[in-house]
Amino acid sequence: MNSLRHLVSLLSLLVFWMGTARSSAALTDRAEIRVASKPFTESYILSEMVAQIIDDTGEARAVRKFGLGGPTLVVDGLRSGELDIDVNYTGALTHLLLPTKQNPSIEDLHAELRAHGLLLSQSLGFNNTYAIAVRSETARALTLHNISDLRGHQQLRGAFTPDFLNYQDGFYKLQQVYGVTLTQVKPMQHSLAYQALASREIDLTDAYTTDGSLPQFDLTLLTDDRGFFPKYYGVILIRDAVAKRFPKTWTALRKLEGTLSDSRMTQINAKVDVHKQAITEVARQFLREQKFITASERGTPIPGSVLEESLWTSTYEHLMLVLSALLLSCLIGIPLGILAVQYRRTGQLLIALTSLLQTIPSLALLCFLIPILGIGARPTIFALFLYGLLPVSQSTTTGLLSLDSRLIETARILGLTKWQRLRLIELPLASRYILAGIKTTAVINVATATIAALIGAGGYGRYITSGLAMNDGRLILKGAIPTAAMAVLFHFLFEYLARWLIPKGLQTERPREP
Amino acid sequence: MITVSQVSKRYHDRSVLSEINLTLPSAATHVFLGSSGCGKTTLLRIIAGTLAADCGTVMVDGIRVVVADPCPLATRLGYMTQEGGLFPHLTAEQNVTLVANVRGIPASERKQRLDELSTLVGLDQGLLSRYPMQLSGGQRQRVALIRALFQKPQFLLLDEPMGALDPIMRRDVQAMLKQVFAQLRCTVILVTHDIGEAAYFGDTITLLHDGMVLQHGSFSDLVHRPLHPHVTAFLQAQRPVPQLGELGP
């Protein structure tokens, strides 16, 4: 038990130390505007532009919550006040907020948003809607120009983003409208689909009309000859209260309206996607050209975007997530494992419940948690904690059940109470198992914590999410390598801890002959 | 004095003990003898109060034993199992003084008791800092005996304490135990399947078979006045050591 007490106090010390480090950093706060972005290039760039304009106007400081997963998450964040501003798309918002309305107008959308305390700018100019992309050679070979030309080519293999497959105005409606039927369709992430298209694994996918990486893959976009796709005009979405509180900022932001045509947006996206320029730089360059920001070359430095966040910050965030969740898993999981031994039925039921938790996909679990815990570190820690319950409680139970019943009987006859037996005999004897469970949890936490980036908790996941979104292998590795290294470090740390924490009498492998 | 009346115990639909009646006087060594599965360990646990009988009562010095946690007789019981039942994560000394520590017995008193008992059982005090794994079987039994005797118990319950020892060590430990029992004059119940051991220790011997007492009496009663054909069968079941001459060159 001593050993476990050591472990718990060590962990809580670490977490406490990290907690204080964080709060002292937050002391320098002034008014903040939290800018959201979703994990794809265009969203990063537009939100970075918004953030730079906010900083340049000077009424408030921009806090970048970039790379948040899924459209629901950002809009929910805005509605609940966790986020302040975002660049979104009319089509996506209509789909999300007015899903049942027939032919909704832009006025309907404005009205609906006002009801949620949100405000919409005019269109920024471009319409980034869906398109169907095929390899140019396929287009030539089968003389495909329009989507309707696909009729009769049901042998073509399609891969579409999950969003496109699920939206009402997505793939299945498209098939109805155009009378096209494809026999082989599967869901695939965007950047992977382009690669798959290039390597002839698939023949067509959904693309975005302003996608900067289209030119490098030699793709042909089929014309939407029946006007099927809704308009996806880029718009700034802001909380009404924030717009009122920072009027100069809102005015400055609205200068972006109508300045980004389709071709302009595609060009800007290509600078990042194809030419690998830094998002911060690309955004700043555009804003300077347009004279939307005044900061001179040598003026106040514009803080780097989230993607250029230092590795140390990410390491700190990642470690914080892993350790806090681990501590919680131990605090709840070990007693749960003990209970499961004392009260078999109830305990087994509880452990079965924790196994059930394991089957919930991490992103889905986060989505359930957001309405309760908001976005950022809290829901992530809670999700990791839930995932850690099973290995910790299960290993505690296994460890306690594996004990020699004669030893427990002896302890009982010697006169130790239930609690004394647990503390002095059973837990120390089971410590090897328990520690193994904690180690497993720690290593799994390191890997799973990469999803944190999707709900704005940072960590190494930010590089992986953005790298995947922008098809940037180097960025993915910048997240993946430290994650792997941290997992390995945790493994060795626990090997070392085991030597220190597991009672010596249990470690002597070979009995010494007297 | 320990009185067992009408004690029965079933596990699922198997009867482990049926209607056991025994009277075990104080300051004597009583042996529960029988082959494995005869119910002797179960009976010991019921007497110790860690297992409830289905029916019947156990009285220790006129007080009824009830099953409770912690063990109600603990302060008056010493207990020792096969291989000693030492806790592997504690050193010999920690094993011995565990309960005294929990009860807050002062260090000087513990030290004094440790010295007395080490001398009594013949254990080199230098071995006390070792973990059970680092001790020989005989040393472990001596440590376990010190632990059992530490609280000056009135009753000593020993469950096959020599089961795992090799013959030479077993002989040593048997001799040491006999000497200790004689010196302390406490009430001992020893569970064994070894007839020689039963004869060596037992003031009384209780021969159990299939959960029933076949005979309760002295060794000579069992040999000369068996109450049941099984008694003789059991006593003769162990192969005698052949004379050296019989083995041939």
Report the complex ipTM.
0.85
**Residue B13 contacts A, CB cutoff 8 Å:** no
User: For residue B224, what are the CA distances in angstroms to A189, A471, B216?
Assistant: 91, 95, 13
The chain A residues in contact with chain B (CB within 8 A) are: 406-407, 409-418, 420, 424-425, 428-429, 503-506, 508, 511-514
Which tokens is A313 given?
């910050």
**A456-491: b or e for each residue (b if 16 or more CB lie within 10 Å)?**
bbbbbbbbbbbbbbbbbeebbebbbebbeebbeebe
**What does the alpha-carbon distance between residue A68 and residue A43 come to, in Å, rounded to a whole number?**
10
**Residue B101 contacts A, CB cutoff 8 Å:** no
Q: How many CB atoms lie within 10 A of CB B31?
A: 26
Helix axes A362-373, A71-80, angle to 10 degrees: 10
Ranges of residues in chain A with a pLDDT under 50 are 1, 19-28, 297-305, 510-514
**What does the alpha-carbon distance between residue A309 and residue A459 come to, in Å, rounded to a whole number?**
10
Looking at beta carbons, which residues of chain A come within 8 Å of B131? 504-505, 508
Q: Hey, are the CB atoms on B88 and A506 less than 8 Å from each other? A: yes
Residue whose pair of structure tokens reads 């098939």 in the numeric block: A175
Structure confidence by residue, pLDDT tens digits, A240-262: 999 999 999 999 999 999 999 98
- Comparing CA positions, the residue from B143, B69, B53 lying closest to residue B44 is B53
**What does the alpha-carbon distance between residue A445 and residue A437 come to, in Å, rounded to a whole number?**
12
- Classified as helix, coil or strand, A76 is helix
In terms of phi and psi (left: phi > 0; alpha: psi -120 to 50; beta: otherwise), the region of A312 is alpha
Q: Is B163 exposed, middle or buried (0-12, 13-18, 19+ CB in 10 A)?
A: middle
Please report the pLDDT score of residue A302 as a whole number. Answer: 46
Selected residues 36-75 of chain B with any CB under 8 Å from a CB in chain A = 45, 48, 50, 69-71, 74-75
- Measure in Å the smallest separation between the Cα of B52 and chain A Cα atoms: 14
Nearest CB to A416; choose among B70, B85, B132: B70
- C-beta separation of B21 from B6 below 8 A: yes
- Measure in Å the smallest separation between the Cα of B221 and chain A Cα atoms: 33
- C-beta separation of A79 from A116 below 8 A: yes
In terms of DSSP H, where are the helices of chain B? Answer: 40-48, 92-102, 107-121, 137-149, 167-184, 195-201, 219-224, 229-237
Please report the pLDDT score of residue A488 as a whole number. Answer: 95
Q: Hey, are the CB atoms on B71 and A428 less than 8 Å from each other? A: no
**What does the alpha-carbon distance between residue B209 and residue A320 come to, in Å, rounded to a whole number?**
64
Ranges of residues in chain B with a pLDDT under 70 are 239-249
**What does the alpha-carbon distance between residue A97 and residue A286 come to, in Å, rounded to a whole number?**
32
- Classified as helix, coil or strand, B63 is strand
Strand partners, A287: none
Looking at beta carbons, which residues of chain B come within 8 Å of A514? 127, 134-136, 139
DSSP string, B15-38: EEEEEEEEEE-SSSEEEEE--TTS
**What does the alpha-carbon distance between residue B75 and residue B73 come to, in Å, rounded to a whole number?**
6
Looking at beta carbons, which residues of chain A come within 8 Å of B127? 514
Nearest CA in chain B to A409: B50
Q: Hey, are the CB atoms on A508 and B70 less than 8 Å from each other? A: no
In terms of phi and psi (left: phi > 0; alpha: psi -120 to 50; beta: otherwise), the region of A222 is beta
DSSP string, A91-119: HHHHHHH-TT-SS--HHHHHHHHHHTTEE
- Comparing CA positions, the residue from A400, A415, A396, A406 lying closest to residue A7 is A396
- C-beta separation of B36 from B193 below 8 A: yes
**What does the alpha-carbon distance between residue B172 and residue A241 come to, in Å, rounded to a whole number?**
89
Q: How many CB atoms lie within 10 A of CB A11?
A: 18
Q: Hey, are the CB atoms on A409 and B50 less than 8 Å from each other? A: yes
Containing B78, the helix (H) or strand (E) segment is strand B77-80
Containing B155, the helix (H) or strand (E) segment is strand B155-159
- Comparing CA positions, the residue from A175, A128, A129, A127 lying closest to residue A148 is A175
Which tokens is A78 given?
């805005």
Cβ-based neighbours of B196, under 8 Å, separated by 6 or more: B238
Measured in whole angstroms, the distance separating CA A393 from the mean position of its chain's CA atoms is: 27
Helix axes B107-121, B167-184, angle to 10 degrees: 120
Helix axes A311-342, A473-501, angle to 10 degrees: 50
Please report the pLDDT score of residue A8 as a whole number. Answer: 53
Please report the pLDDT score of residue A9 as a whole number. Answer: 57
**Residue B99 contacts A, CB cutoff 8 Å:** yes
**What does the alpha-carbon distance between residue A467 and residue A489 come to, in Å, rounded to a whole number?**
24
- Comparing CA positions, the residue from A6, A7, A2 lying closest to residue A437 is A7
Please report the pLDDT score of residue A513 as a whole number. Answer: 42
**What does the alpha-carbon distance between residue A272 and residue A283 come to, in Å, rounded to a whole number?**
10
Nearest CB to B89; choose among A412, A413, A429: A429
Containing B58, the helix (H) or strand (E) segment is strand B55-60
Instruction: Tell me how many degrees the CA angle A127-A131-A132 measures, rounded to the nearest 5.
Output: 175
Nearest CB to B133; choose among A413, A417, A505: A505
Looking at beta carbons, which residues of chain A come within 8 Å of B88? 429, 505-506
Q: How many CB atoms lie within 10 A of CB A32?
A: 12
DSSP state of B189: E
**What does the alpha-carbon distance between residue B92 and residue B90 come to, in Å, rounded to a whole number?**
7
- Classified as helix, coil or strand, B209 is strand
- Measure in Å the smallest separation between the Cα of A330 and chain B Cα atoms: 22
Please report the pLDDT score of residue A487 as a whole number. Answer: 95
Residue whose pair of structure tokens reads 């798959």 in the numeric block: A196
**B5-25: b or e for each residue (b if 16 or more CB lie within 10 Å)?**
eebbbeeeeebbbbebebebe
